[in-house]
Amino acid sequence: MFDGMKLAAVATVLYIIVRCLNLKSPTAPPDLTYQDTALNRFLLKSCPQLTKEYIPPLLWGKSGHLQTALYGKLGRVSSPHPSGVRKYLPMQDGATATFDLFEPMGDHRTGDDITMVICPGIGNHSEKHYIRTFVDHAQRDGYRCAVLNHLGALPNIELTSPRMFTYGCTWEFASMVGYIKRTYPQTQLIVVGFSLGGNIVCKFLGENRTNQERVLCCVSVCQGYSALRAQETFLQWDQFRRFYNFLMADNMKKIILSHRHSLFGGSSVKMIDADLSRLYTATSLMQIDDNIMRKFHGHSSLKEYYEKESCVHYIHNVQVPLLLVNSADDPLVHDSLLTIPRTLAAKKSNVIFSLTLHGGHLGFFEGAVLFPQPLTWMDKVIVGYANAMCQWEKQKPPCQSAHLSESSCTKEKA
């Protein structure tokens, strides 16, 4: 009887492992949604990663959970240490935005001055391994890189006002972009956002048409597009999303508590105790957002906070070429949210939506059987798309600019 129970337990564990490894899952090129335009044809031809099979490591790479876990635990394999300079930007409300600036290791292939302005994921900064790996790869291809450090994310930088980063606040990113434009008047920009950073950069570009000036293109990877729609899915156990929600909430608690004196110092003792009590007992991001985060910008409810800070209400205003990348096995982004980028790409000629079968959340590791390569598919596709976009701008006829409409072309010919 006992041996039978042990055998059943072992069989159950093996079954779970096999299901998690997902070995029988096929590999395929990304599923692309786009309109057939000269620019899009050129981009897809010039960036082969978008049309070729993405092949993850055989033994574990077809599991979105393992890809996500490896990204979350290690970030990247053999991560380099790019050397940059930290910049401090005072904000109007007393906050101090910081970003790290990395100069290119050589000339860009077009001979132009190109800067990538990069917004990391939730609670992340320039010292994270996946950011360091990507920056090093971009530097080697001739790009200057400016990486935003989310307000409050760096453990050794004190807050200078009672506010930290939120889901969709674009103030710090706008300040960094403004600095780059002023300091390098000849540079053109490639905008890149990872996860929460993807929401911020798309919202930033869509908030004001002037924010798109000197921007060649934008790439967003693994964002969820609408916090309001994602809210319910994050409370579901499907794909262990509720568990991931708990882990991210725990990380947010640590960040908030590390700045408790700056964030709550001006409040009454009773209010501080109430806020901290609700924070300690929170088990989800939604509880933290409702009790703490929404109040930084005076939102009256969680619904209003999520509505105002989600890029879904702004992304349709983006006119520059836009590459939206997601993974079908991302355990954090529910499949229902992917109708947003798919519908957008079907309606707007400047948008390409790329959905890979595998990759997890910001994983996208590549490798033969067991050990992943230092560079991921994600790193290669962003730089490949950026290179293609720069090449298009360099060699295109004047009326085929990515910023000009067909009516503008007609007028120019006339």
pLDDT of residue 401: 60
Catalytic site residue from 126, 195, 310, 327: 195
How many of the other CB atoms lie within 10 Å of CB of 150?
25
C-beta of residue 261 within 8 angstroms of C-beta of residue 276:
no
pTM over 0.85: yes
Is 259 known to be catalytic? no
Per-residue confidence (pLDDT) for residue 274, from 0 to 100: 78
* Domain definitions of the chain by residue range: 25-226+313-394, 234-309
User: What confidence tens digit (pLDDT) does each residue in 108-137 have?
Assistant: 999 999 999 999 999 999 999 999 999 999
301 in active site:
no
How many CA atoms within 13 Å lie on the side-chain side of 244? 21
Catalytic residue among 125, 150, 334, 361: 361
pLDDT at residue number 24: 59
Residues of the chain with pLDDT under 70: 1-25, 266-272, 397-414
pLDDT of residue 414: 41
pLDDT digits (tens, 9 = 90+) for 71-94: 877 778 888 999 999 999 999 999
195 is catalytic: yes
pLDDT for res 369:
83
Catalytic residue among 330, 354, 358, 379: 330
- For 25-226+313-394, give the CATH class: alpha beta
> In the structure encoding, which two tokens stand for residue 227, read together?
């916090």
pLDDT for residue 5: 45
